[in-house]
Amino acid sequence: MSNSLLLPLHLRPIPHFPSALVRVGDKNPCAVPFSTLNLTSTCASSNRRPLLPIMSSESLSSLTNSYLNQLDDLADFEKILSPDGRISICGFGSLLSERSAKSTFPDLINFRVARLNGFRRVFAHVAPIFFERGIANPETKEISSLSVEPCEGETLIVTVFEIQKSEIPAFMERELEFRFLAVLPETLEGEPFGHPAVLCARYSDEEFFQIRCKGSKEIYFQLYGRYNIDKIWRDDVLPCRVYLRHCVLAAKNLGDVAYNNFLDHTYLGDRKTTIRTYLATTGSGITEEEPPESLKTRYGG
């Protein structure tokens, strides 16, 4: 594995576009007003990646992997809007469920299944929403939600759908703990999509505190600290049981290909134990457990 692939994305060498695409190796309602965090303003960082221009279908078809660029602010998102002013979103966890996706994005269109190369799913970060909803179990460390991270040779079955431009700020706020990447999914037959989609990928605690919280302990406390969370991205946590069940059922509802992909390409924080193995051992019985009555629709698969 190249040492450069171990660096944070914003420190990795910048690829040259559009002739080649990088081959990558390897929820919570915000208590702080979005205007305070100012994610939608233009970023002045000198490490900022140039965004990939919209490419022709001929150029897209020559690309062999999925990762395009990091999206740092609203201006970056707007550069990958479709001609009709919509943006594509990749779902890999709860958004594998169309019902769940529509509960968050009531006006979404074109919900479909796709393939995303060069990434794996990992249960490796703590989600405050599970504490808010009373489904986190700190004693057993069953407090983790899903993210994705670059991993050479891995392939995910995801969902893709389009939302309106006006929904982007709320999306950025809701998925505050993630790194936003522009990626290029493909059909199950291997044809690249004609337009990039947004993927919520693994971030880091340092970046989250310095960039999202602007170095403010007060902001961090409102978002995470009040739940006694002093570290977001961790390798020693286990999936929230209700959430994992929801994701497994959502994948199963998409068919055998998506279901088996979820079981075999989703890992615990050790990056070794697949969800298939986990459900057959330590996590046995999770899929038979019913969520709390108030959450049966939200976490019903």
Residue 235 has pLDDT above 50, yes or no: yes
Percentage of residues of the chain with pLDDT beyond 90: 72
- Strand ranges (E), the chain: 67-70, 86-91, 109-126, 142-164, 179-183, 197-201, 238-239, 266-267
Structure tokens at 100: 């769940």
Domain segments of the chain: what residues? 56-204+233-291
Q: What is the pLDDT of residue 294?
A: 84
Residue 45 has pLDDT above 90, yes or no: no
Q: Could you tell me the pLDDT band of residue 73, with boundaries at 50, 70 and 90?
A: very high
- pLDDT: which is higher, 5 or 100: 100
Q: What is the pLDDT of residue 301?
A: 75
Q: How far apart are CA 232 and CA 299, in angstroms?
A: 22
Structure tokens at 59: 């150029």
Q: What is the pLDDT of residue 295?
A: 87
The mean per-residue pLDDT over the stretch 75-80 comes to 94
Q: What is the pLDDT of residue 63?
A: 35
Sequence-distant (≥ 6) Cβ neighbours of residue 249 within 8 angstroms: 97, 287, 300, 301
- pLDDT: which is higher, 116 or 38: 116
Give me the DSSP letters along 144-174: EEEEEEEEEEEEEEEEEEEEEGGGHHHHHHH
Residue 192 has pLDDT above 60, yes or no: yes
Residue 29 has pLDDT above 90, yes or no: no
* Residues 245-272 pLDDT 10s: 999 999 999 999 999 999 999 999 999 9
Give me the helices (H) in 115-272, please.
128-132, 168-174, 205-207, 217-223, 241-253, 256-264
Residue 115 has pLDDT above 90, yes or no: yes
Q: What is the pLDDT of residue 66?
A: 56
b/e burial code for range 142-173 (CB count within 10 A of at least 16 → b)? bbbbbbbbbbbebbbbbbbbbbeeebbeebbb
The mean per-residue pLDDT over the stretch 94-116 comes to 95
Q: How far apart are CA 87 and CA 91, in angstroms?
A: 13
CATH architecture of structural domain 56-204+233-291: Roll (3.10)
Closest CA to 271 of 164, 186, 184, 154: 154
Q: What is the pLDDT of residue 67?
A: 58
Element (H, E) at 275: helix 275-280
Q: Could you tell me the pLDDT band of residue 168, with boundaries at 50, 70 and 90?
A: very high
Q: What is the pLDDT of residue 297?
A: 81
Contact 160, 185 (CB under 8 A): yes
Q: What's the full length of the chain, in residues?
A: 301
> Residue 262: helix, strand or coil by DSSP?
helix
Residue 48 has pLDDT above 80, yes or no: no
**Torsion region of 153: left, alpha or beta (phi above 0 gives left; psi -120 to 50 gives alpha):** left
- pLDDT: which is higher, 214 or 12: 214
Least confident stretch, 26-40, 54-68, 147-161: 26-40
The mean per-residue pLDDT over the stretch 286-296 comes to 89
Average of per-residue pLDDT values in the chain:
82
